[in-house]
Structure 1
């Protein structure tokens, strides 16, 4: 493979309206892949022709053994707003892509650790990379977990960098001071991150003793869950002005579905004829309101993207040309800044049921398919709210949004 050949694709483009397709076997292969993908995914003619033009631009002068650098064609396609992701997918399928994109995690970590003392920064950088990549003695963590760990220890690391030049100088008193002003989950997460850091440093021989040894977290008091007000729910409903937003709100507020579970629903999971929908592997009956919102969304989806082959119930302008689910921020921004977010509506629905059933954790576990600790937390909050009726809204009457559901494990959430 020729890896050091650089090309400037801003010049020498081939206009397919005036010229024939260049005779290049690699280009012919790429156009065949483009045609196959377009047929399989139901692309419109515009999307298909745009991809073909980009492939002609990149492969008209392609040489055997050459690898096409991502950084060479990225600025051209970015300026033209023309199918960057689809071009990259075709080149990857052909095995001729040289992906030289910068590591976003490394760039983020470098920025976060910029203010630390060089000696501490070097060790923290090695620790975070070891967690992210895993190793013989380190269990691999997700990027989100590593970011969370760094977020909770950053204040302590910044303070230590003003006094120390190495982690071995950190004492037990420094650890206690770092968690002294924190409580609940913030304290637990900070201490867990510090334990992980210094346990790793001890195994690597960077420190002589672990300063977190023997420090107990103590009881973690959970706050009492509070129901949303009717005004909060009304604002959320009014903010959901599009079919997909209304579907998200209905599934969260009626079926207590999580954000990720809603995005993962497939078209095959929806059975309108029998009024059933499968969410997170659990079959639930569709109530009248959810049925109405589902029909509205499916009509919109069929008219907006009639040829899409995306198997997921929810699609967007970007995901309709592929086979991936919609991204997390796609709907989140609609309710951003409002008290009743998608997650808030889900929690309120489960708390509503806990209030209606008198705080029975077995009922909650059966209806919502949640684990025992979560069911006990909702039940405990409900009992405390029921003991202070002036602070909680009254339990809903039958037939309302939070009506009591049958406590049979097979009974779906949101039954009418």
Structure 2
């Protein structure tokens, strides 16, 4: 490559400063790459458009790293002190747009710009896209992770390679299994999460369903591995029947469904000789009997000094919303003294209005410039447009949304004398789901001398 035309090849001179190794049949062009267009040479000079293209030339492949070396903190700090670089100039318009739309403070906007400068130094090549796992390294440099990922995704410069919740859970539950069983389980997980176009075809399953399957079969497959099984091809129908008999009644249904899904997929991929679960009847669902909560506990959380806790508890205690419905409520869903949930218009109870007003005052004082449309926000979601996590604001609290909602439905079924149609219409339950609460009316353990136990 450095040979001068008309002169002999100087190998010693070419290798004086080191030798770059390449793998065969990669994206290396001996004659050189085509010249770059002005847009590719200087993308930051272009006026920002809603859809931003990758500044890296499309003809170039990604340069694979031969060694993974930890970056030198001093070198990174020196690069950050530079006023600007290609990445920050390219994303400058997007940073301003996100800051204006989400109500970022000046400090947060500067943190994102500083994080982009750090990423420019961490990238293997100046024009490579940024992996989301590399953005997570910003925490050790006091960088902003979440907002930086949003900006890079909007710019089309992000490679999303973070493991999902299902993948993390699967890896934690299968790390100690034999290699043969683990490989077969990975094939099963791939089909569940991404679906299959080959016979038998299958649509991707909901992540909650996948988690339930893994939760159900996890103790069974570990018991088989401890017994010496190296592959699921060794499992017989008798092994499955014995394992289900030893499984607790509450988990037997999901364990049976998980095993059926696993062996059906492995048989379709010809990883086992026969499906031992074929023709097996599904285990009956196990349901528990809903019980009333202690009113003192509910009253204590209703009067919590934290306004968001008091509002969340009030919305479920008085109107039996689910935890997901509470998280997804938006400011526009509260109007004219009514709460709009889907196609339902719910008149707000008096105690709920009081707690709603207290929370809105706290919300406006704490985040006056936020553009998040959701009713309930926190420190992490205020500068974004996403709802809060499922754990907020229930972390460290005695009550849980599901149990509190069950208590509300149970109270209604007793107050109406078992009017199942009214309960179904009021809470959006199916007849089967409402029957679970109806069975408590005449339950032997919930009656005293033939009389129904009164609720306080």
TM-score (norm 2): 0.76
Aligned to 1:355: 414
Residues 1:205 and 2:270 are matched in the alignment:
yes
Structure 2: stretches of 5+ with no match in the other structure: 1-55, 66-70
Aligned to 2:313: 249
CA distance in 1, matches of 2:323, 2:231: 42
CA RMSD of aligned residues (A): 2.9
Contact map agreement 2:195 2:202 (CA 8 A) in 1: yes
CA distance in 2, matches of 1:270, 1:103: 33
Cα drift, residue 389 of structure 1: 4.6
Contact map agreement 2:192 2:210 (CA 8 A) in 1: yes
CA distance in 2, matches of 1:351, 1:179: 32
Aligned pair count reads 384
Residue 223 to residue 111, structure 1, CA distance change in 2 (3 Å): closer
Aligned-partner SS, 1:321: coil
Contact map agreement 1:252 1:345 (CA 8 A) in 2: yes
Contact map agreement 2:333 2:339 (CA 8 A) in 1: yes
Aligned to 1:138: 202
Residue 88 to residue 389, structure 1, CA distance change in 2 (3 Å): same
Instruction: Please list the CA deviations of residues 3-62 of structure 1 after superposition, one character each: whole Å capped at 9, or x if unmatched.
Output: 4388766232454xxx7x44x675334222111111111112221222233334545999
Contact map agreement 2:256 2:283 (CA 8 A) in 1: no
Aligned to 1:118: 179
Contact map agreement 1:183 1:220 (CA 8 A) in 2: no
Greater percentage in helix: 1
Contact map agreement 2:114 2:143 (CA 8 A) in 1: no
Q: Please point out which of 393, 397, 401 is paired with 1:342.
A: 401
Instruction: Please list the CA deviations of residues 62-114 of structure 1 after superposition, one character each: whole Å capped at 9, or x if unmatched.
Output: 98744345455542x20243321111222222223345545665454333223
Larger Rg: 2
Aligned to 1:311: 373
Cα drift, residue 259 of structure 1: 0.3
Aligned-partner SS, 1:78: helix
Aligned-partner SS, 1:10: helix
Instruction: Please list the CA deviations of residues 159-198 of structure 1 after superposition, one character each: whole Å capped at 9, or x if unmatched.
Output: 2222333222212211111111345441111111111111
Contact map agreement 1:386 1:392 (CA 8 A) in 2: no
Aligned-partner SS, 2:395: helix
Structure 1: stretches of 5+ with no match in the other structure: 397-416
CA distance in 2, matches of 1:113, 1:386: 41
Residues 1:90 and 2:90 are matched in the alignment:
no
Q: Please point out which of 335, 338, 352 is paired with 1:276.
A: 338
Residue 67 to residue 263, structure 1, CA distance change in 2 (3 Å): same
Q: Please point out which of 432, 436, 441 is paired with 1:373.
A: 432
Contact map agreement 2:302 2:309 (CA 8 A) in 1: no
CA distance in 1, matches of 2:152, 2:446: 64
Aligned to 1:403: none
Aligned-partner SS, 2:339: strand
Aligned to 2:352: 290
CA distance in 2, matches of 1:379, 1:392: 13
